[in-house]
Structure 1
Amino acid sequence: MTASQDVLGEVLADLRAESAELDGLVAGLPPTGWAAPTPATGWTVAHQIAHLAWTDQRALLAANDPEEFRREATKYLAGPDAASFIDDGAEEGARLPQGELLAHWRTGRAALEEALAALARGVRLPWYGTSMSAASMATARIMETWAHGTDVADTLGVVREPTDRLRHVVRIGVRARDFAYAAHGLEPPAEPFRVEVTGPGGQVWAHGPEDAGCKVTGSALDFCLLVTQRLHRDDARVRAEGAEAERWLGIAQAFAGPPGGGRERRGAPAPEGDG
């Protein structure tokens, strides 16, 4: 087994674990639980799971038939429903009976894992932002599963212990820096930033050159909540050194697509829109 296959296997194992944790939160919910509103305005718990199932299916299509994925993506992104087709997918799935929706999500994520594991080394998958390797796609699925799982946990009043799987969310949040600028119509800085955040076990996850002029430090959990737009900048235990680093933290997003509405400061009502 090659080093790249080892990395992919580790990421897929973490994706499986992240999905299982969220699955455990929703599997035994009564219908009222599935219908409970989450912090994303207009989205119930069912919408959150339906969105993950829909996105897994799109990723599976990208892995199995990249040309068809490109045709579908072009049609939606250039059409009149460009701003809503992702929400429409969640809405459609949320109308399914809860048992059917849960089975759909489970089947789809298992099929995606199998497809990613089978991809030839070096293959890149098309996506809505930029093409990705199999490991990067699995990392993106961890990020999405963790972020939407956070919405579900908050709705149910469940406090989840952060895990080392946050390192994947940190990584994709850092790598998506320039995309976040572009999504806001801004020119990204030419210089890389240094990001040093502390994980749940006290470990430091670092990205970027040590002598970078702009630096971000603080809690890995809060950084992840920030780049998935689950926490307002003013509430994040994350420090920025340099004006450009501070500007990035105000617009950061680890997900593809247009900027979301983010979260209001704690204690304020949630805004419309989400990532």
Structure 2
Amino acid sequence: MAEIEALLADLDAESADADRLVADLPPDRWSAPTPAVGWTVAHQIAHLLWTDERSLLAATDPEGFQRVLQELADSPDPLRFVDLGAQELAVLPPPELLSRWRQGRAALRTALGAVPPGTRLPWYGPPMSAASMATARIMETWAHGQDLADTLGAVREPTARLRHIAHLGVRTRDFAYAANGFDAPIAPFRVELTGPDGDVWSWGPEEGAQRVSGPALDFCLLVTQRRHRADLALRADGADADRWLDIAQAFAGPPGTGRAPSTAGPEAAA
């Protein structure tokens, strides 16, 4: 219970960080285009709302969520359901959209905190625990918050919450390989990242031949595909680790298109 409460507290903080970027935004700015092609500020919040509401359904009504999965399987274009969900909600008036997002994420927090230990929640991919779902929501909220910050010219200070996103990025290594049609390496990689406070976060065996190192912020920007690898100060030692940094993604679904490299170099993403 302590683990899920800590995760939910960090989810609250990450949501509040994204919320402050749009809380006082004039109505006309909600239609501003963001780095995600075809998505406005409203689409970004609509997507967070849509995913929170689907997560709430999975946590409170697993049978209802299974019906949603069946409807998706029977739909003529099952790969566009995420975009369509954002499009449907983005047309709401900004005050209504913001209020509904706030209500939805609060309800999800309560629901995830009440999930019995050991319960697996249905999802669009493999079933997951409440802790895993909370971690995924932290990752996605942070990533879409980055899109908002980039759009609005805001600067966000990196926090220790990045560790959740980095952990998910490491855990999804094999998924990234499979999503891109590659066989995942058998041996785990060594990953060493420097957190915002200067401490080193590590995964994998110390003697691992394939290694990734660099700032935790840069790794999180990479695995959420919010920056191109060329703009980040990440180092790969070994051919397999090098390939991973080209395809890494911490989110479910098909390979993302990522972002184009800037002309300013690694410092531009810092």
Q: TM-score, normalised by structure 2?
A: 0.95
The CA deviation string for residues 78-107 of structure 1, in whole angstroms up to 9 with x for no partner, is: 532212110000011110000110011001
Structure 1 residue ranges (4+ consecutive) displaced by more than 4 angstroms after TM superposition: none
2:244 alignment partner in structure 1: 248
> 2:51 is matched by which residue type in structure 1?
T
Superposed displacement of residue 67, structure 1: 2.5
Q: Write the letter of the residue equivalent to 1:165.
A: R
* 1:70 Cα deviation after fit: 2.5
Give CA-to-partner distance per residue, 1:140-197, whole Å, 9 cap, x none.
0000000000000000000111001000000111111111111112211111111110
SS of the residue aligned with 2:133? helix
Name the SS for the 2:79 alignment partner. Answer: coil
Match of 2:197 in 1: 201
- Matching residue of 1:170: 166
- The AA in structure 2 aligned to 1:130 is P
- Partner SS state of residue 84, structure 1: helix
- 1:260 is matched with which residue? 256
Task: Give the Cα separation in 1 of the matches to 2:201 and 2:74.
Answer: 38
The answer for the alignment partner of 2:188 in structure 1 is 192
State the Cα distance separating 1:210 from its structure 2 match. 1.1
Q: 1:265 to 1:78 in 2, by over 3 A?
A: farther
Which residue number in structure 2 is paired with residue 99 of structure 1?
A: 95
Select between 131-140 and 143-152 the one with higher mean Cα deviation: 131-140
When residues 267 and 69 of structure 1 are mapped into structure 2, their CA distance, relative to the original with a 3 A threshold, is: farther
Distance in 1 (alpha carbons) for counterparts of 2:76 and 2:189: 37
Match of residue 34 from structure 1? 30
1:80 to 2:76 alignment? yes
Matches within 5 A, 1:142-161: 142-161=138-157
Tell me if 1:120 matches 2:148: no
Report the aligned-residue RMSD: 1.2
Q: How many aligned positions are there?
A: 264
- The 5 A counterparts of 1:7-22 are 7-22=3-18
Equivalent position to 1:110, from 96, 103, 106: 106
Q: Taking every aligned residue pair, what percent have the same amino acid on both sides?
A: 65
Unaligned runs of 5+ in 1: 269-275
Residue 228 (structure 1) shift: 0.2
> CA deviation digits over 1:18-48, x for unaligned, max 9?
0011111101001121111000011000000
TM-score by length of 1: 0.93
Query: Once the 2 structures are TM-superposed, how far is the Cα of residue 71 of structure 1 from its aligned partner?
Result: 2.8
Distance 1:74 1:249, change over 3 A: farther
